[in-house]
Structure 1
Amino acid sequence: MHSYMNIKKSARISHDFWEVTAGAGMFDIVVSGLGDGRHRALADGHEFVNMSSYSYLGLDTHPRIVQAAADAVLAEGALNSSTSRMRIRFGSLREAETALSELFDVEALTVASCAAAAWASLPLLASGLLTGDTPPLMVFDKNAHFCLNALKPAVADEAEIVTIAHNDVDALEDLCRKHPQVAYVADGVYSTGGAAPIPELLRLQEKYGLFLFFDEAHGVSTVGERGRGAVLEAMAAHGGMNDRTLIITSLNKGFGASGGAIFLGPNGARRRRDTALRNGGPLMWSQRINTAGLGAILASAELHRTAELKELQLRLQDNIALFDSLVETSFSGDGLPIRFVDIGSEEATIRLAGELLQRGYYTSPIFFPVIGRGKAGLRLMLRANMAESEIRDFCGALNEGLRAEGLGVNGPSADRPSVNSPSADRPSEPVLAGPARGQSR
């Protein structure tokens, strides 16, 4: 019991933090959208900029995508088919998966969310059905997303599990030497900042046949040719997606549509596609992406083939660089849109987040169980549709708040490792085997 999950313990430890967050008005804010990442709180009319939006390219409000979502519902005459996709599916589902497959040169299957994609594919991989009927040793990165760690009990019914330190390539290679089949489970881009050492992992794959399983929820669209993300961009130099790699992703973050997807290698994909559809949990019996979401996927896939996508990516890079010039964090200069401001104290983190909200900027205070106790901080997301003046004003308010908390303006204090650092301490009694950060998407 509690080898991999202990929800009661997690709830007990985090209860006070959540109560303070709610009391500070930082939780369950009901808003009306004003577009471009701005909101108005319905309770008091307070307007603020969302500094925690996953819409990295601003596509969630793109007129063509919004219109396509509405048109798809009207064209099909129904929001849902209300039948398993294995039995009956609308033509728009086939069209959306074909568009994704051709855009990213993969075999794409869609599901209702990225978490559902993990649920459908991780136990399948552990069973051995994707590795020649031999269950692999399942190696989880310690910082793998919560939706991956939460499936450890199901995975453990199929295969042995090992958790290694964050981005510990040496430990992974040692396991590859000792075991004939190894699968590594990690994020391509981590939800609180940083990325997997993808070139080193591809080296291990080529040398040992390592199977790579990536959550690319925060990578797709934001980087890479036609928005293919950090993993597929790195794999392009190795011939593209292969049969020893599986990627899950969100389609409602950078992609600006709805749902999630599973990417399989395109070679011999029919067999693996059928295996996934017939045995992959939510692919078999859960609801599909609704018709509006499918229309949005088609429109976004089309946009990803235009010059506008590159323009948005470049604008995002400019905004990331501007932020990095004003606030130093552990991953300054990595070109990714997620930043974590290390504070340490949960109380100070929530207090600072509340002050920033009053000044017109919503930030996410992150604490246990998303990260270790005493490692709290603010998670920030940069977007292509942020104005330069907004970024400058926010960074000024953030630095002022950090000074007031005695933290300075240049990131974490010298005597405390950043939460983003692989050497940062973790809780001595993890709620998950290999505690996860990034619990919230």
Structure 2
Amino acid sequence: MHTYMNIKKLASISGDFWDVTDRAGLFGLVVAGLGEGWHRRADDGHEFVNMSSYSYLGLDTDLRLVRAAADEVLSEGSLNTSTSRMRIRFAALDDAERALSEHFDVEALTTASCAVAAWATLPLLASGLFTEDVAPVMVFDKNAHFCLNALKAAAADEAQIVTIAHNDVEALEQLCKEHPKVAYVADGVYSTGGQAPVKELLRLQEKYGLFLYFDEAHGISTLGRQGRGLVLEELGGRITDRTIIIASLNKGFGASGGAIFLGPQGSDERKNLALRNGPLMWSQRVNTAGLGAIKASVALHATEEFAGLQKRLQDNIDLFDGLVQTEQSRDGLPIRFVEIGKEDATVQLAQRLLERGFYASPIFFPIIGRGRAGLRLMLRANMTRTEIETFAGLLKELRDELGSAGTGAWAQAGNAVGAGAERR
């Protein structure tokens, strides 16, 4: 019991921190969207910039995607078939998956979310159905996303589970030497910053036949030629039959749902396994609007304009790194983590930033290790230079104030709203 998960303990440890964040007005904000990452709070009209949006290229509000979503719904006259995709589906689903497959040079399956993509494939991988009917030793990176770690119990019913330190290639290679079949489960780009050592992992795949399983929720669209992502870029754009990639289609991609990317060899067999032996057989699929947006986003990914969006994102990342030093500085990725340390201080800092016109997500255990609380920030292509510079200045000012005043003084401070971001 509690070998892989201990929900009750997790809830008891993290509950107080979540409650403090809720009381600080940083949870459940009801807003109106103003475009370009701006929101207006419904209760008091306070406007602010969202510094924690996963829409790295700003495509979530691109009118071409929005119109395509609406047009698809109106064309079908329904949001979905309300039936398993294995029995009845709209042509839009096949069209969207064909477009994804051709663009990324994979066999693509759409899912309701990236988490459903993991649920549909990880237990199958653990069973040996993707590794010549021999269950592999399932090796999880310690920092793998929660949606992957949450499936350890299900995978453990099929295979041996091992968790290794973050990006510990040496430990992984030792396991490859000791076992004939090994599968490594990791993120391509990690949600708290940093990336997998893909080149080194490909070396192990070539040498030992290591099966690689990546969550590319944060890599797809933001990186690589025409948005191929970190892993496909390192693979030279061609996924192997010993690699599975799952991805989000509502972060950098700007649409909705998730996807499974399978290699070309045996793709029909693997596709059928995923469809017939897991949640894809009975769970909800991407709705009709999302499918329309997916097709529109694929079309945009193939344009010169898309490369320009990626360039604007990289320029904004470089600008931020020149103003705020973090462990992730100069890695070229859009995620930054500003470590504060104490949970209460982190919440108070986030509260003050919101008052001054910027929402930044405070994160703490279990998302990050205990005593390492901080702010998780996402850079976007549609941020202006003024927004980034203003935020960086406020962050420094408020961190200095926090350091000199102490958390007790902060907790007693009033709610006066100072000068912050000015919407264009």
For the criterion TM > 0.5, the same-fold answer is yes
SS in 2 for 1:405: helix
Partner of 1:307: 304
Superposed counterparts of 1:257-336, under 5 Å? 257-279=255-277, 281-336=278-333
SS in 1 for 2:337: strand
Answer yes or no: is the 8 Å Cα contact 1:110–1:260 preserved in 2. Answer: yes
Superposed counterparts of 1:400-439, under 5 Å? 400-406=397-403
1:204-230 deviation line (CA, Å, top 9, x unaligned): 000000000000000000010110100
Answer yes or no: is the 8 Å Cα contact 1:319–1:383 preserved in 2. Answer: yes
Give the letter for the 1:13 counterpart.
I
Which of structure 1's runs of 4+ aligned residues deviate more than 3 A?
none
TM-score norm. by structure 1 comes to 0.91
1:233-262 deviation line (CA, Å, top 9, x unaligned): 0000xx720000000000000000000000
Superposed counterparts of 1:95-110, under 5 Å? 95-110=95-110
Partner of 2:353: 356
Gaps of 5+ in 1: 408-441
Give the letter for the 2:61 counterpart.
T
Partner of 1:256: 254
Q: CA deviation at 1:336?
A: 0.3
Answer yes or no: is the 8 Å Cα contact 1:356–1:397 preserved in 2. Answer: yes
Q: CA deviation at 1:303?
A: 0.3
1:286-315 deviation line (CA, Å, top 9, x unaligned): 011000000000000000000111000000
Partner of 2:395: 398
Q: CA deviation at 1:402?
A: 1.5
| CA distance, structure 1, for counterparts of residue 171 and residue 308 of structure 2 | 40
| CA distance, structure 2, for counterparts of residue 353 and residue 31 of structure 1 | 17
Between the two proteins, the alignment pairs up a number of residues equal to 404
Higher alpha-carbon deviation: 187-196 or 363-372: 363-372
Give the letter for the 1:277 counterpart.
L
Q: CA deviation at 1:367?
A: 0.5
Give the letter for the 1:321 counterpart.
D
Partner of 1:86: 86
1:329-369 deviation line (CA, Å, top 9, x unaligned): 00100100000001110011001000000000000000111
Give the letter for the 1:28 counterpart.
G
Q: CA deviation at 1:23?
A: 1.0
| CA distance, structure 2, for counterparts of residue 345 and residue 75 of structure 1 | 52
| CA distance, structure 1, for counterparts of residue 338 and residue 84 of structure 2 | 44
| CA distance, structure 2, for counterparts of residue 68 and residue 376 of structure 1 | 40
| CA distance, structure 1, for counterparts of residue 158 and residue 401 of structure 2 | 51
1:61-95 deviation line (CA, Å, top 9, x unaligned): 00110000000001111101011001111100000
Superposed counterparts of 1:337-348, under 5 Å? 337-348=334-345
What is the percent sequence identity of the aligned residues? Answer: 72
| CA distance, structure 2, for counterparts of residue 94 and residue 112 of structure 1 | 15
Give the letter for the 1:205 counterpart.
Q
Give the letter for the 1:51 counterpart.
M
Q: CA deviation at 1:268?
A: 2.8
SS in 1 for 2:397: helix
SS in 1 for 2:140: strand
Q: CA deviation at 1:273?
A: 1.1
Q: Which has the higher contact order (CA 8 A, sep 6+)?
A: 1
SS in 2 for 1:222: coil
1:14-51 deviation line (CA, Å, top 9, x unaligned): 11111110111111111010011000000110000000
Partner of 1:214: 214
Q: CA deviation at 1:403?
A: 1.4
Superposed counterparts of 1:82-161, under 5 Å? 82-161=82-161
Answer yes or no: is the 8 Å Cα contact 1:81–1:90 preserved in 2. Answer: yes
Q: CA deviation at 1:274?
A: 1.3
Q: CA deviation at 1:406?
A: 2.4
| CA distance, structure 1, for counterparts of residue 266 and residue 156 of structure 2 | 28
SS in 2 for 1:2: coil
Q: CA deviation at 1:157?
A: 0.5
Higher alpha-carbon deviation: 355-364 or 398-407: 398-407
| CA distance, structure 2, for counterparts of residue 366 and residue 111 of structure 1 | 27
Answer yes or no: is the 8 Å Cα contact 1:339–1:379 preserved in 2. Answer: yes
1:179-217 deviation line (CA, Å, top 9, x unaligned): 000000000000000000000000000000000000000
| CA distance, structure 2, for counterparts of residue 321 and residue 113 of structure 1 | 30
Q: CA deviation at 1:269?
A: 1.2
The equivalent position to 2:245 in structure 1, one of 231, 244, 247, is 247
Kindly report the root-mean-square deviation, in angstroms, between the aligned alpha carbons of the 2 structures: 0.8
Answer yes or no: is the 8 Å Cα contact 1:111–1:282 preserved in 2. Answer: no
